[in-house]
Amino acid sequence: MRKKTLKDFDFKGKKALVRVDFNVPLADGQITDDTRIQAALPTIQYLINEGARVILMSHLGRPKGEVNEAYRMDPVAQRLAELLNKEVSKVDDCIGPEVEEAVNNMQDGDVLVLENTRFYKEETKNDPDFAKKLASIADVFVSDAFGTVHRAHASTVGVAEHLPAVAGFLLQRELEALGDVMENPEHPFVAIMGGAKVSDKIGVIRNLMDKIDYLLVGGGIANTFIRAKGYETGKSLVEEDKLDLAKELLKEAEEKGVELVLPVDVVVADDFSNDANFKAVTIDNIPADWESLDSGGPKTIEKYSEIIKNARTVIWNGPIGVFELDNFAKGTFAIAEAMAESKARTIIGGGDSAAAIKKAGLEDKMTHISTGGGASLMFFEGKPLPGVEALDDLD
């Protein structure tokens, strides 16, 4: 990695402003999944041990630039204190006199959580004055929120203009894992692309075409490809305006020697509901008034699993069915099982794919599960990540 990391800075007695991703799911004010807090612990604990004064900032939810009581960081600070087994202070703002006073009263090894950065509309606009105020309380900026580095916000990019800026352990691990698989993949190299829209994955598919041997397509994306090949898709989700694009990508794959693999059978339903009637049909037999909700029919699962089993590198972005509904989760879980059983290096591109892996209970069987769906997608697309570009380069 060509950026400075925690080991490149002496933190003793220094005020470290750390951008973490504490955007955790909440229900009735309670955290329902603390995975993102747990992911930040190695960096936070390292800074404590090194004698830094640790100031944590994050967004939570979408308060749209206004104070919203439902999105205060208090539950996060409480959970962090439990995980660290240490007192964690919290202030009700992220800039201003209250924050300055709290920071001035910190001792080496103390931890302070700032209020939700998105209570200010200036955050998402990367307002220079707001970024300067955030940075003014610290001696060094540590970026450790991979899930937000694809966004040029004040807390991810702006502050780096005013402070020495280094990557935390989580960000470093993400960049090394994703970078290595893109630069040094073992072959056969298989990419699995699911999700709703082919338009969301065009850049990724095109960038991968020069590297991969197989592209396995699923989800709503598969429906668009199936229609492009001349089959009826009933009421399935299809991007009608992307049929020509799908044809182009099929041709491009053929020209580059990439085997673009589509489902041979899918699971269709007469309603978008777990209570709907459903059945597996071949792609040339989709009923006109039914819709495909799982592109992993039995024969497709067998075909995809065989390719994955023989792979040496597999990356996966996007579920291949509506896995939130149990009757349509079989294909997605079968992909997860096949990856878990393979000897390949397996990289999960965050977002819904990571959620599916977790739901299947297979997190420990994967080489790397990214903490950022949007960021990993941009990385696979070959685009620079603003929050990484802003960090200090190694000499």
Q: Output the six-digit token pair for 316.
A: 């996966």
Beta bridge partners of 282: 265
Angle between the 330-341 and 298-309 helix axes, to the nearest 10 degrees? 20
DSSP code, position 36: H
374 is a catalytic site residue: yes
Rounded (5°) CA angle 319-323-324: 130
Distant-in-sequence, close-in-space partners of 245: CB < 8 Å, separation ≥ 6 = 198, 199, 202
Beta bridge partners of 35: none
Given the residues 351, 372, 373, 387, the one annotated as active site: 351
Q: Output the six-digit token pair for 8.
A: 């490149």
Q: How far is Cα 61 from Cα 71, in angstroms, rounded to an integer?
A: 6
CA–centroid distance for 333 within its chain: 19
Given the residues 197, 206, 235, 358, the one annotated as active site: 197
Residue 40 near residue 1 (C-beta atoms within 8 A):
no
Q: How far is Cα 6 from Cα 14, in angstroms, rounded to an integer?
A: 13
Among positive and negative, which fits the CA dihedral 295, 308, 215, 256? negative
168 is a catalytic site residue: no
For residues 323-348, b (16+ Cβ closer than 10 Å) or e, as one string?
A: bebebbbbbbbbbbbbbbebebbbbb
Residue 48 near residue 170 (C-beta atoms within 8 A):
no
Which residue is listed with tokens 């960049």? 175
Rounded (5°) CA angle 122-123-128: 65
350 is a catalytic site residue: no
Q: Output the six-digit token pair for 98.
A: 């209250």
Given the residues 147, 218, 373, 374, the one annotated as active site: 374
User: What count of other Cβ atoms lies within 10 Å of the Cβ of residue 357?
Assistant: 25
279 is a catalytic site residue: no
Name the residue type at position 350. G
Given the residues 36, 118, 173, 201, the one annotated as active site: 36
Catalytic residues: 36, 197, 351, 374
